[in-house]
Structure 1
Amino acid sequence: MAPWAELPRLTPSSTRPCRRRSTRLPPDSRWSAPVIEAGAGQSGYLYLDDQAKFDRFIASLSGADLLAVDTEAASFHRYRDRVYLIQLSSRTATAIVDPLTVADLGSLGALLADPGLETLFHDADYELRILNRDYGFTATRLFDTRIAAQLLNEPGIGLAALLEKYLGVTLDKRWQRADWSRRPLEQGMLDYAASDTRSLPTLRDLLKDQLEAGGRWSWAEEEFSLLSAIRWSPAGTPEEAYLRVKGVRTLKGHQLTVLREVFAWRERVADELDRAVFRVVMNDPMLAIARAMPADEQALRELKVLSPEQVRRWGAEILAAVRRGVEAPAASIPVFERSRRPPPDLAYDARLERLKSVRNAIAAELPLAPGVLCPNAILEAIARQEPASLEGLTEIGEMRRWQRAVLGERLIAALSAA
């Protein structure tokens, strides 16, 4: 009997509840363990909500050739985003791991790092970053169905589109923006989560067959090998985050310091409530407040950018933030550096246009999206550096080997054309 055979399997038909109590989580109902009874059937999956079940399932994967992985987070709902669910599928079993009740996930990290196991993702760039952020996990040998679809020039590269086309599987989109931090999780949410990885091994095989048939498997292998270097890193410093708000450059003078103070206030409130920042105050109302710098509640209401409830609940705090911004020293007002355009270089422009023309022609021949075949940033680097040979293209850091093989000679020829 497989080590996981004794574990409960969940199916869409599971309806009778059974009670479980978690001793690791606060007694808030939001954190209560799921109340679900196991069912049986080919569409079943395992629900791993304690360490022993998790350890047995991981042990059962010994000798598996691949493992499909997906995660569910709650950034649409929570300020303190984290992984709230991990879905795992081998060729023969699917499991959902509740990381809120399984304390030690280290054995999963060891599996992902094992070069003998292929880790299968859809959009590995995102999944690897959050797994690295929360657990320090890395993966060694990967397959990304999203990248595979791009290299096959699929018109739809989302998982739902691919499963529908290749397997006739329709995902239930009701749960795409569900709050995965909630407990208990609804049966439909768990069914949806399991469906994200259950069909990935079969989809992977079909996509690989097409890549091999089209002579593009080596392209995919190179792209997949680069994924192993992905790590999470924060986007800028928290102190500068307000300067990344869309529309910030329309503000001047103390409007900017008002935005800084209102932004900082919103961060504090969102953190205290563990609520996504846009669920406190959205960016556009925040910009309108910074632009108008209202002095009292009447002026704040007249802006008509906040609901009556927001004004009632937070109006005084927002006005206090506005005052702090208005009274901020002039020296603290940020200054945007104007990007200076380089002087016109007609020869460079002509080279770049020739390179784009060649790239676009080859893309149409293959066919493949021009940006997938060779992004403009690479063509711009080639136009600047003007390599004289295929060997010279190796100095273009972002250019792949497969891109040099497919495009290289014609790009070099385009550079020398007058």
Structure 2
Amino acid sequence: MTQHPDYTLVDSPAGFRRAAQALEAGRGPFAVDTERASAYRYDDRAFLVQVHRRGAGTFLFAPEGHRDAVRDALEPVLGGADWIIHAAGEDLASLALLGLHPATLFDTELAARLAGFDRPNLGAMVEHYTGTHLEKGHGREDWSLTPLPADWLDYAALDVLYLNDLAEALAEELAAAGMLAAAEQEFAHLIRTRSLAPAQPKTWRDMKGVQAVRSPAGLQIARALWQERDAAARHTDASPAALLQTKVIVAVAQAQPGTPDELARVPGFPARKRGATSRWFGVVEAALRERRQAWPERTRRDPHTPPSKPTWERTYPESFAALEQARTRVAAAAGNLGIRPEDLLSPATLREVMWSAAARPLLDAHDACRRLLAAGAREWQAEIAGPLLVAPRAAED
């Protein structure tokens, strides 16, 4: 059965102000969500911001073309307030672009994971706690379109309608399990890292797979293709991947095609797209004509950064064995808590600390906790995982 929730769509500065006044008169936390269009547009900005508050109703803000006005209207009301979001990471980042930051956060998706739910998606959680079945399926649409279809807007409004109920129910579950304080640390961490931390601009070296490009010529090609793609995507407000996929850039850099035909045969290259072969081959040619002294060099691996799994296992078998033993103990502890191992301790944090232990052995559980905190673990994670990283004999001592 299709649901048609009550909501108000606002797309003008005057409408933003009226909606903000109505929200201010409501009560309790703000349930917030965003819809983005990063598969179609250059960046991950929000094209729709949904806000629900008890006693006020649901408002859908369409900010494109009026982003400053949205910020001016909503920041005095939502800024520094209590928010509820489901799977908050990307939403917080896009809301930060609008100048909106919460004081406190309750992430219902993360809370569900810490409460031991295997399926913490919004639809499953709403059905579990309210018995309501949400019709899903519009999350990957092009939300930059105007006007947005009515069924998309219904979908967007439903994403915030039940968040207050979920937050209250999950807070009770977490408190009963002794995990509420841990969840609150996780929520605060999300605010620090996804809302308040300044966004770091991407560079060509951030491309997935570019580490596999080893020759100077290949790196020069990868950089030139990325820069051309980035400039064109920014100019046209298009998704960079729609112009040339990252995996294709890496493949071209590895192949180093010497002719247009060779470029067209690179797997995944959009040779059938009109003008694509001549355009991108021109970029390759121009890049290779630059003086070699200006070509990028391979970045030297930071000795403090863990190597790849095959390199670690092959070159440092003893410390790799210690990593595997620690991973097993962390997984067992997570199982006892009814949560996933990566929620108890992220694999990257575990690798970082165990790699540091290869050069400077962990002295005791206190030392392990200290290093975990320095690597970004939260206090509750360090308290549980720290003793698990120390060799059993050392832990007993």
TM range (shorter): 0.7 to 0.9
Q: Which residue pairs with 1:368 in the alignment? A: 339
Matched, 1:334 2:306: no
Counterpart amino acid of residue 126 in structure 1:
E
Considering only aligned residues, what root-mean-square deviation do their CA atoms show, in Å? 3.3
**Greater displacement, 388-397 / 227-236:** 388-397
Residue 86 of structure 2 corresponds to which residue in structure 1? 122
Task: Give distance in 2, aligned partners of 1:306 and 1:416.
Answer: 54
How far is 1:141 from its partner?
A: 1.3
Quote the offset at 1:85 in angstroms: 0.8
Candidates 84, 104, 112, aligned match of 1:141: 104
Name the structure 1 match of 2:74: 108
What is the 5 A alignment of 1:79-94? 79-92=42-55, 93-94=57-58
Deviation at 1:405?
A: 5.2
Q: Which residue of 1 aligns with 2:8?
A: 46
Counterpart amino acid of residue 89 in structure 1: H
For residues 183 and 111 of structure 2, the distance between their equivalents in structure 1, rounded to whole angstroms, comes to 6
Deviates most, 281-290 or 45-54:
281-290
* TM-fit CA distance, 1:278: 1.7
Amino acid at match of 1:401: E
Q: Following superposition of structure 1 onto structure 2, how do residues 268-279 of structure 1 map, counting pairs within 5 Å?
A: 268-279=231-242
Q: Secondary structure of 1:359's match?
A: helix
Contact 2:365 2:395 in 1 (8 A): no
Number of the residue aligned with 1:416 = 395
* Counterpart position of 1:323: 285
Is the 1:12–1:187 contact (alpha carbons within 8 Å) kept by the matching residues of 2? no
Which is further off, 361-370 or 372-381? 372-381
* Structure 2 unmatched runs, 5+: none
Q: Residues 248, 407 of structure 1: CA spacing in aligned structure 2 closer, same or farther, 3 A cutoff?
A: closer
Is the CA contact 1:356–1:379 (under 8 Å) kept in the aligned structure 2? Answer: no
CA drift at 1:354: 5.5
Equivalent residue letter for 2:167: R
Distance 1:47 1:329, change over 3 A: same
Q: Report the counterpart of residue 24 of structure 1 in structure 2.
A: none
User: In terms of mean alpha carbon deviation, does 105-114 or 198-207 score higher?
Assistant: 105-114
Is the 1:242–1:263 contact (alpha carbons within 8 Å) kept by the matching residues of 2? Answer: no
Measure, in 2, the Cα distance between the counterparts of 1:127 and 1:393.
31
Match of 2:61 in 1: 97
One-letter amino acid of the structure 2 residue matched with residue 368 of structure 1: I
After superposition, the C-alpha distances for 1:117-136 in whole angstroms (9 at most, x for unaligned) are 4211112222222211x222
The superposition leaves residues 1-28 of structure 1 with CA deviations (integer Å, 9 ceiling, x where unpaired) of xxxxxxxxxx966xxxxxxxxxxxxxxx
Q: What is the distance in 2 between the residues matched to 1:321 and 1:413?
A: 54
The 8 Å contact of residues 70 and 86 in structure 1, kept in 2 or not, is answered as yes
Cα separation, partners in 2 of 1:70 and 1:308, compared to 1, 3 Å: same
Is the Cα contact below 8 Å between 1:12 and 1:188 reproduced in 2? no
Letter in 1 for 2:198: S
Letter aligned with residue 52 of structure 1:
A
Q: CA deviation at 1:385?
A: 6.1
Aligned mates of 1:375, 1:298 — CA distance in 2: 45
Q: Is the 8 A contact 1:255 1:326 kept in 2?
A: no
Instruction: Name the one with the larger helix percent.
Output: 2
Q: Is the 8 A contact 2:32 2:160 kept in 1?
A: yes
Q: Under a length normalisation based on structure 2, what TM-score does the superposition of the two structures give?
A: 0.80
Q: What code does the residue aligned with 1:226 have? A: H
Provide the rounded CA distance (Å) in 2 between the counterparts of 1:308 and 1:126: 33
Deviations 1:96-120 (A, max 9, x none): 0111365242342233333xx4211
CA distance in 2, matches of 1:160, 1:70: 14
TM-score by length of 1: 0.77
Post-superposition offset of 1:349: 5.8
Provide the C-alpha distance between the structure 2 equivalents of 1:256 and 1:391, rounded to a whole number of angstroms.
40
Segments of 5+ residues of structure 1 without an aligned counterpart are 1-10, 14-42
Go from structure 1 to structure 2 and tell me whether the alpha carbon gap of 1:387 and 1:126 turns closer, same or farther (over 3 Å shift).
farther
Structure 2 counterpart of 1:16 = none
Cα distance change of structure 1 residues 120 and 302 upon mapping to structure 2, 3 Å threshold: closer
Distance in structure 2 (CA, Å) of the matches to 1:269 and 1:99:
24
Match of 1:19 in 2: none
The 3-state SS of whatever aligns with 1:69 is: strand
Paired with 2:157 and 2:380, the residues of 1 have a C-alpha distance of 35
Give the 5 Å matches for 1:12-411: 43-60=5-22, 61-62=24-25, 64-92=27-55, 93-100=57-64, 102=66, 103-114=69-80, 117-132=81-96, 134-230=97-193, 231-236=196-201, 238=203, 241=204, 244-247=207-210, 249-303=212-266, 305-307=268-270, 309-310=272-273, 312-339=274-301, 344=316, 346=318, 355-376=326-347, 377-378=349-350, 381=353, 386=362, 388=364, 393-394=369-370, 396-397=372-373, 398-403=376-381, 406=384
Q: 1:322 to 1:399 in 2, by over 3 A?
A: closer
How big is the shift at 1:392? Answer: 7.7
1:200 deviates by 0.9
| Cα contact 2:213–2:219 (8 A) shared by 1 | no
- Do the aligned residues in 1 keep the contact of 2:221 with 2:287 (CA within 8 Å)? yes
Whether contact under 8 Å (2:219, 2:297) holds in the other structure is no
Kindly tell me: are residues 399 and 235 of structure 1, through their superposed partners in 2, closer, same or farther at Cα, counting changes over 3 Å? closer
Residue identity over aligned pairs, in percent, reads 27
State the SS of the aligned residue for 2:38.
coil
Do the aligned partners of residues 221 and 385 (structure 1) sit closer, same or farther apart at CA in structure 2, a change above 3 Å counting?
A: farther
Shift of 1:286: 3.1
Distance 2:390 2:250 in 1: 48
Cα deviations by residue, 1:366-414 (Å, 9 ceiling, x for unpaired):
2222222233525863755635465983564234333355556676793
Letter of the structure 1 residue corresponding to residue 287 of structure 2: G
Query: Secondary structure of 2:83's match?
Result: strand
